[in-house]
Structure 1
Amino acid sequence: MFKFFINILLFSLIITISKAKQVVNYPIPEITNYPPEVNGGFTSNWGITEGLDGKLYFANNYGVLVYDGKTWSNIILDNNDPARSIATDKLGNIIVGSRGNFGFISNNGSGDPIYKSLNKYLDDKNYKNRDIIYETFSLADGQIFFRSLNNLFFYKDKKIKVIKKVNKRKFGVSRLLNDEIFIALIGDSIATINDHKIIKIKNSEIFKDKTVTGFHKSKTNELVVFTRKNGVYKQTDDGFLKINNEIINNIGVIYRTFGLVNNKIGLATYEGLFILDNSLKPIAHYNSNSGLRVDNIRSIYQDQNGIIWAGLDDGISKINENSKFKFYDLKSSNLNSRVRSLNVYQDHLYVGTNVDLKKLVLDNNGKLKESFIQIGKEKLNTQVWETFISNDKLLIGSNAGLGVIDNSENYELAINKKDIGIVFEIIESKIFKDYLLVRSKKGIFLINKFNLKDYRKIYKGSGVGYLNELEERDEIWFRVSKKGIFRFKIENNNINKTKFDEKIFTEGKVKLFYINNNLIIYANKNYLEYDFLKERFKQSDLFSKIINIKNKEILDLKKTNINSYWVTFTERIEGKRVQEFYEIDSDGKILKLPFENISHHLDTEFFFFNNLTLMSSNEGIVIINDKDFNNNQTGSAIISKIVNNDQKVFFGAPNKDLVNNTFKIKQDFKFNQNKISFTISLTDYFYENKNKYRYQLVGFDEKFSDFTYSHNITYTNLKPGKYDFKIQGLNSNGVLSEINNYSFYIDYPWWQSKIFYIVEFIIFSILLITTLFLKQTGKAAALATSISFMMILAFFEYINFVLDPLILDLSNGVPVFSIFSKVLLGLILLPLERLINSILDKMAKKIKVN
């Protein structure tokens, strides 16, 4: 029996999920554009790869562009040629194909990344072909593969194997699938490459008159071949069979295809970027209407965090497919006005806006798109404040009054504005069974949900807001602007009314919320709650654990499907409005929600449906993935640049390159090279502008700094000694990166070195012996006194050298010991000089007697 109920539950869950997916199909993920004026390159981007540390590299017409999450930089190739292909080998080397040239990213010996060509390893020392290197792959056996139209190159261990075109057939697109190279033979067929030999695939002559643009494997491991204008084909026992897919067939030009995570496929087209699942079903389409800078896509790459990067014909776009948020914005989705209410009715999303009522539908004129269409156009051209489902009908609260949409989408006005006023809110009453609580401009109404004509007014007047029904107490609470707070207690079908009209409740902003059986009131910048035992208001500590709560104003509170509450606050920080979101569970535990990236949305309200969480705002509608808040992935905290005394030390170059050259970052500096600057970043690209950093210079800082958005750190006037600079990143989800570090040493000046003091000790030992000799002979007494005086000064200087750094640490940088030692020296110098001379005189006499 238990298994039976579990199966029923799972079946219901599946049905619920499928329905939620039908409601929302193609929202737009967050898309960020990096045009040439931002990334520092030219327009076209032909390839993308990722280093082991998470830095991104783009094959651009200007060269290689590098992005670390904070800073864009570039690497110029030989002859200022464009980079046309790029890859990362298993050791992390960045491999680049250019025009008539191919090579790798190395180090100029001073920390700057540079391009180095592999052409010198060709047997043909006169090789001057200007063919474009269109693809670059790293093979499992350590070979690097490069493809041009006329030649294939295999590099390994400073040797290059060249395969020339076969029967004058040029080489077309190539792809690496499970470490097997597939390649198109232009005007002939397709082939694989095994042990540097080209092996034609049986019955592939079908591609003789077609331009192949990509190779992939299906989920059942059949070869799938994409063409430029002739659709997609799957290999069968008898050859290749065209797959009938209307969307793919209607794409004008498929420029290239790229493998994505989970065997998905990205299509780079002139109409935007298409994504197919592992069964070749199109599941997404992004173009300039979705937010891309242009429609012409040249390259596609999915990074280690699942973010899709598109190299465009003009710039670069980041598509945050795995984001917590996706959108229906006002313009592209045809909302065109601020959203006021949301509801799911008959598996469709209905939206009340400032001007009309709309429904989300699949766009038959687009590809994998949705848009909103107007409902009740002839009768409902006004502001819609509320949508509410009752008795299989959609109730509409609007400026026209209370209306109804039936299951055939016919709209009728049930109670007009003259009788009920503008309807703002509809609640199903738990106290008055079979009745609805309706808040309008004329007051609060009880309406029979089975007969909308049957209604009565329980409060008359405008300005009603924040209506709360306390079912377990049989009470209704609400606020009336400038009149106070009202409490209606229902006893034996009678309503006992209480009014709280103290000044704090009649002036300024007054808001009421009911959370975890607590009635919370925000009034005059105070958070109060009502004590039902003592029948009075008192200060509330419900939100006391929220930082700076005294300066925060609560904007909204909504109960979720899991009996927690989402709360929105705002405050003013440094002259700017800041908005934050929190979740409070049934035990009162408070968690800050990682919603910084939608904090600029205004007039927000959350809506919770089965497996679907939405937020309305002035920007449109946000679909929130509330199942992935605890994503514990993040990138690497990296030191991108090191500068010493305004001189470059390190600018992101590798420590070891493809041909096994090794490079060491400078770590030893002279005593006057005591200004050092670091540029740091976190290679987490979900919301890279929200990444924070903390740092510590061990040997200078006692502890890590607070987290900050600042990524440039400078230390000046560092004293000689050992230092270890540590950094750690914090991404927008609150996940910490591993700590990265750089150790260095600042030398002591020669006059403070131990060698100097040893030499000084030897010299003054000689002087001591000389002094004893002079005193013994009785000659040159003044000279002996001077030498002993110099020895005292040297001794004090050495004491200063040893103890002063320790005293500085203990006194938090106050040079107390230096000052004290000099004062002490001034006070005791003459007595000490006399004492030492006396001792030396006695020693000299003793030596003379002996």
Structure 2
Amino acid sequence: MPRCFQRIKGFIHLPIWLLLVSDLMSAPTSQNPFLAPYIRNFPKQEYQAYNQNWSLCQDKVTGFLYAANSKGLLEYDGTRWQTYRLPKRQIVRSVAIDPQGRIYTGGLGEIGYWQPNAAGVLHYRSLSGRIPGKLFPKEEIWNIVIGADFVFFQSFSTGFLYRNGRVSEVRLPGNVLFLYGVRNRYYLQSIGNGLYELVNGKFVSLPNTEPLGSTAVHAILPYGLKGLLIGTRDHGLFIYENGRLSRSNHPASQFLQRYQCNKGLALSDGRYAFGTILNGMIVTDTTGTLLYSVNQRQGLQNNTVLSLALDLKGNVWAGLDDGIDAIAFSYPLKYFTDPNGQLGTPYDAVLYHKKLYLGTNHGVYWCDFPTSGVPVYHLVEGSQGQVWDLTVLDGQLLCGHNAGTFRITPADGWESLFTQTGGWSLRALSSQPGFALQGTYTGLCVYRRDPNGKWQFSHSITGFSEPIRQVWEDAEGQIWLRHAHNGVYSVQLSADLRKISHLNWVASYSQEAGLKKQFGVSGSIRRIFGGWNDEQLFLRQDGSLLVAKPDGLKAEFSISHFAWMDDYENIVPLDSVYYLLCFEKGYALLPRQELSAVSNQQQTSKPLIRQLAVLNGNDSRNFTFRSASFLASFSPVLKARENHLVFHFSTPESIQEPLFSYRLAGLDEDWSDFSPLAEKEYASLRPGTYEFQVRSTSEGSVTSFPFEILPPWYQSVWAYLTYFLIGCGLIGGSFYVHRRQVATHQTKVRQQMEDKLAREQEKHRQQLMQVQKEKLEQDVIGKSEELANTTMNLIHKNDLLLKLKGEVEKLKDEVQQRQTIDQATGHINQLVKLIDSNISSRHDWKVFEKNFNKVHEQFFKRLLSQYDGLTPDDMRLAAYLRMNLSSKEVAKLLNITVRSVELKRYRLRKRLNLPQEANLNEFMMAF
């Protein structure tokens, strides 16, 4: 079998051989007569300091333990150890705590105290500078005693009293050992002179204590109402009462005399603990009877006890020459181990006829229960080998063995019932009175009670050859079988119990989930065991045990995962008083009467969130908390980038390795499984409000730590307000831009429309101009034609008038010949004059000039601007020539002769400076 207890790290269940006398039974009920209390070892590898631990004390406010170690001051918060070094890295020889929480330490040439700073980290303040004289640096402070209004620092030759901020030297009565405080009075031994009492800063000799001068006093404890119990190095115990000194001759005194008493401690229940130099520690009662004895062979890390301290729960801490041990007298579980391997590994147990029977891999052993001394185990002859099952049916003790099934008689006889190998589990069938079903290596067997009331093998069930490790019947009469390797079967047997009529395989027992829900148990469960009065015992995957009652009571016990036998875990209800827990190398008893006290204590105890580490690169921060009150006053508001957090938590005053369950409200919905892991890391948390919650038992008080992670600046209220304003601005700007775009588009469209319209207008204008041009051209043509017609009319008119004139003149000639000359001549002259005036009237010229300008725009202006000295006749001739009229036609228009026209043409050419070869008509037409 595996050696569990060699694999347990950090603690071990120790065997303590108990030597008891008559008054042992007066001890508390949890102190079973042959079982040891739980002891946890803290080796130097765990607390990461040196071997020797010279002094121990506990802070009554925080529950933290402090040890004066050769490396420095050790602090233990229930989960983690931390070392603080003195300024010159001296050995810390002594430590003590005053009611205000100041932690005083002493070393070579150094005294002072430690106090936590604002961040919760201890900082040291030296008092050595207040001590006058040059010899102090050579003094080593081995002892510190806290008085009502003073602190006493002591070396072996000098004492220093620290009071009201001042340090004064106290004159000692010679060479001394340690000062001890008993009932607010203070005593020390002067070597060779007896005991002295410190009174008003001076030492006064106690009468009749001179016999102690020949030895070294290492313990002064209260005895009775006013007496003193004095432990010496090599003379055992003395009692000083009513001014008289007497020597004790009890076994404890003899033990201390032989093994050299080094430290003494008064326990809370009136007993005493003594640490020795050579043989570990013992516990005695007030009469000097030795109750417990434990040394290195039996479990302590070292036989030399350098210091002892009592914690707030009544447990003893021992500072050793190599390590620190804690002995949990207040812990209900009490252990028995088998270091010599005599008994082997227990697989089952039962109480039968006031004897405790253990079925182990070596056979069946029994001892009286309860015993009045060290238990003596007896082997049932013939039972050698692997024992799986011990069951009492109808007053008969039946044993399932590797070699078969046997009956153990009250006289420890060994009777064979069936030789089928591997009797794993035998259970009576309530649905079939007088019959029992057994699971074996190769199937199922049926036993029946014969007429004499004895159980005998009946038959094997046919058609079924699976290995069945466990058999049980539920309240409805359903039979269940646990396969050795593969799940669970629910079966129905035939009426004659000879074959299986119905078989159904399931991965796990369905009612276990119902039990978890009924009792409100969370997390992963390894096994569930039925107990007394409907109690249920839930064995967690991590090895811890939860005992739950229907009335809601829950009590949890921290047990190492390695203590149990894998796949063979077993918890046995011995009777209505005890549960027996089978471990790989021993067993433990759990008294039921202490379940309520444990439950109440666990409900009131709260874990402490010890530290919060805010990881943020080089800007990381740590917050350390030393008490729940300080934690309650702290609710940090973290920056957005400070979203990587690590929580460290502990359970002060706890000796057992604690288990924790936690969740982060705001992120996690369910609690985590219980685990010894005492830290939890969260990375990349989103902005928001959170509350970290941790508990050490399922029904215990919850420690909460609220905090807030601010959103990044771009998610803050001001940022959102800015975003809102920016959004409004963007919307307004977008609306404005949209309006501008619409306006621009409209303008563009308008412009395009206007351009198009302009183009259309221009096109229309051009078309209109073309039309107008064409019209003008037509008008010009018409005007030209009209001008030509007018001209021709003028020509014809003048021609006609000339003809008329000629005729008139002819008439005149005739009249002159025929009538009165004067009268006829006057009428004829008047007619000629009228004709002459119409031939070349200025009105006709103006009409002609107006029409000519319309047809030949700016002709006269350009002609006059380029040629000076042109007369109106020249202008008129030029106009006629531009119209390409011949000289004869011009003559008619001007009412002159053709000769005169030629003369005018000649003059015009001169004025125009035309060369001889130039054609005047072509010049005028081209001008």
Report the TM-score when normalising by structure 2: 0.63
Question: 774, 798, 804: which one pairs with 2:719?
Answer: 804
Quote the residue 1:115 is aligned against: 124
Give the % identical residues: 16
Q: Report the alpha carbon displacement of residue 332 of structure 1 after superposing the two structures with TM.
A: 2.1
Q: Can you list the C-alpha shifts for 1:792-847, whole angstroms capped at 9, x where unaligned?
A: xxxxx9xx97543589xxxxxxxx8598467436525769999xxxxxxxxxxxxx
Who is 2:851 aligned against?
Answer: none
SS state at 2:134 partner: coil
Q: C-alpha offsets along residues 230-252 of structure 1, whole Å, 9 cap, x if unaligned?
A: 21122234622222322441241
> Which residue of the partner structure matches residue 763 of structure 2?
none
1:775 counterpart residue number: none
Note closer, same or farther for the CA distance 1:325–1:71 as it changes in structure 2 (3 Å cut).
Answer: same
Q: CA 1:23/1:326 → structure 2, altered by over 3 Å: closer, same or farther? A: closer
Q: Which residue of 2 aligns with 1:690?
A: 659
Question: Out of 52, 63, 86, which is 1:44 matched to?
Answer: 52
What is the total number of aligned residue pairs between the two structures? 687
- In 2, the alpha carbon distance for the partners of 1:478 and 1:110 equals 59
Partner of 1:527: 510
Match for residue 637 of structure 1?
608
Q: 2:731 aligns to what?
A: 824
Q: Is residue 181 of structure 1 aligned with residue 181 of structure 2?
A: no
Quick one: distance in 2 between partners of 1:101 and 1:161?
15
The corresponding residue for 1:457 is 458
1:736 aligns with one of 701, 709, 713: 701
Q: Determine helix, strand or coil for the equivalent of 2:136.
A: coil
User: Could you give the per-residue CA deviations for residues 604-649 of structure 1, whole angstroms, max 9, x where no partner exists?
Assistant: 2222224121122434312224423412342562444656754576
Query: Among 33, 36, 39, which residue is 2:41 paired with?
Result: 33
Does 1:62 pair with 2:52? no
* Offset from partner CA, 1:463-505 (integer Å, 9 cap, x none): 56654568x99x794659799765569xxxxx65596544524
Q: 1:624 to 1:156 in 2, by over 3 A?
A: same
In 1, distance between residues paired with 2:30 and 2:718?
75
Q: 1:58 to 1:704 in 2, by over 3 A?
A: farther
Distance in 2, matches of 1:623 and 1:404, equals 26
User: Do the aligned partners of residues 243 and 596 (structure 1) sit closer, same or farther apart at CA in structure 2, a change above 3 Å counting?
Assistant: closer
Select the residue among 614, 621, 634 that pairs with 2:587.
621
Quick one: distance in 2 between partners of 1:98 and 1:64? 10
Matched with 1:564 is: 534
Q: CA deviation at 1:424?
A: 4.4
Contact 1:60–1:82 (8 Å) recurs in 2: yes
Alignment counterpart, residue 597 of structure 1, candidates 539, 559, 564: 559
Shifted more, 291-300 versus 678-687: the winner is: 678-687
1:283 counterpart SS class: strand
Correspondent of 1:311 among 319, 324, 337 = 319
Q: 1:380 Cα deviation (Å)?
A: 2.9
Summarize the Cα distance change of 1:145–1:82 in structure 2 as closer, same or farther, 3 Å threshold.
same
Partner of 1:606: 571
Alpha-carbon separation, structure 1, partners of 2:560 and 2:638 = 49
Paired residue secondary structure (2:45):
helix
| Larger-Rg structure | 2
Partner of 2:384: 381
Distance 1:99 1:817, change over 3 A: same
Q: 1:485 to 1:702 in 2, by over 3 A?
A: closer
Instruction: Determine the structure 2 residue equivalent to 1:356.
Output: 363
Cα distance in 2 for partners of 1:25, 1:205 equals 40
* Cα drift, residue 183 of structure 1: 1.1
| Matched-pair contact (CA < 8 Å) for 1:334–1:372 | no
2:232 paired residue among 227, 230, 253: 227
Letter in 1 for 2:529: L
Q: Structure 1 residues 107 and 247, CA, compared in 2 at 3 Å: closer, same or farther?
A: closer
Query: 1:584/1:673 Cα in 2 relative to 1: closer, same or farther (>3 Å)?
Result: closer
Name the amino acid aligned to 2:178.
V
Residue aligning to 1:412 = 413
Letter in 2 for 1:313: D
Residue 726 of structure 1: how far off its partner (Å): 6.5
Q: Is the 8 A contact 1:43 1:61 kept in 2?
A: yes
Tell me what 2:649 maps to.
681
Residues 186 and 817 (structure 1), Cα distance of their counterparts in 2 relative to 1, 3 Å cut: farther
Go from structure 1 to structure 2 and tell me whether the alpha carbon gap of 1:706 and 1:297 turns closer, same or farther (over 3 Å shift): same
- What 5-or-longer segments of structure 2 have no aligned partner? 1-22, 628-632, 742-927
Amino acid at match of 1:286: V
1:240 pairs, out of 227, 241, 245, with 245
Give 1:103 shift.
Answer: 0.9
Aligned partners of 2:612 and 2:648 also within 8 Å: yes
Decide whether aligned partners of structure 1 residues 305 and 236 sit closer, same or farther in structure 2, where only a CA change above 3 A counts.
closer
Contact map agreement 1:22 1:347 (CA 8 A) in 2: no
Mapped partners of 1:336, 1:821: distance in 2: 85
Is the counterpart of residue 445 in structure 1 residue 444 in structure 2?
A: no
* Residues 114, 653 of structure 1: 8 Å contact kept: no
Is the alpha carbon distance of 1:829 and 1:267 closer, same or farther for their aligned partners in structure 2, counting shifts above 3 Å?
farther
Whether contact under 8 Å (1:397, 1:426) holds in the other structure is: yes
Q: For 2:55, what is the secondary structure of its paired residue?
A: strand
CA drift of 1:101 comes to 1.9
Distance 1:616 1:739, change over 3 A: same
CA contact (8 A) 1:400 1:421 kept: yes
Residue 144 of structure 1 deviates from its aligned partner by 0.8
Q: Give the 3 Å change call, closer, same or farther, for CA 801–351 of structure 1 in structure 2.
A: closer
Tell me the residue number matched to 1:787.
none
Q: In structure 2, what is the Cα distance between the partners aligned to 1:250 and 1:439? A: 53
User: Is the 1:682–1:729 contact (alpha carbons within 8 Å) kept by the matching residues of 2?
Assistant: no
Amino acid corresponding to residue 457 of structure 1 in structure 2? S
State the match for 2:765 in structure 1: none
State the superposition RMSD in angstroms: 4.9
**CA pair 170-159 structure 1, distance change in 2 beyond 3 A:** same
Deviates more, 1:687-696 or 1:186-195: 687-696
In the other structure, the counterpart of 1:786 is none
Matched AA of 2:386: Q
Contact 2:558 2:658 in 1 (8 A): no
Q: Is the 1:63–1:80 Cα contact (8 Å) retained in structure 2?
A: yes
> Is 2:322 aligned against 1:322?
no
**Distance in 2 between the 1:213 and 1:47 partners?**
13
Q: Write the letter of the residue equivalent to 1:310.
A: A
Q: Deviations over 1:708-741 (max 9, x none)?
A: 856355777999xxx9997654124642255567
| Structure 2 equivalent of residue 777 of structure 1 | none
More strand by share: 1
Q: C-alpha displacement at 1:297, in angstroms? A: 1.8
Alpha-carbon distance in structure 1 between the residues aligned to 2:234 and 2:83 = 35
1-side partners of 2:82 and 2:361: how far apart?
46
Could you tell me which amino acid in structure 2 is paired with residue 413 of structure 1?
Answer: W
CA distance in 1, matches of 2:525, 2:638: 55
Shift of 1:116: 2.2
CA contact (8 A) 2:51 2:322 kept: yes
Take 1:19 and 1:224, find their aligned partners in 2: how far apart are those partners? 20
Within 5 A, what are the aligned runs for 1:435-514?
437=436, 439=438, 441=440, 443-447=445-449, 452=454, 455=456, 457=458, 459-460=460-461, 466-468=470-472, 477=479, 479=481, 487=492, 497=497, 501-502=501-502, 504-505=504-505
Q: What SS does the aligned partner of 1:79 have?
A: coil
| Structure 2 CA distance for aligned equivalents of residues 427 and 671 of structure 1 | 64
Amino acid at match of 2:206: I
- 1:257 equivalent in alignment to 2:225: no
Aligned to 2:94: 85
> Structure 2 vs 1, CA of residues 496 and 267 (structure 1 numbering), >3 Å: closer, same or farther?
same
Contact 1:554 1:567 in 2 (8 A): no
Deviation at 1:384, TM superposition (A): 2.4
Distance 1:578 1:110, change over 3 A: closer
Q: Is residue 32–residue 319 contact of structure 1 (8 Å, CA) maintained in 2? A: yes
Aligned to 2:918: none
The reply to whether residue 94 of structure 1 matches residue 118 of structure 2 is no
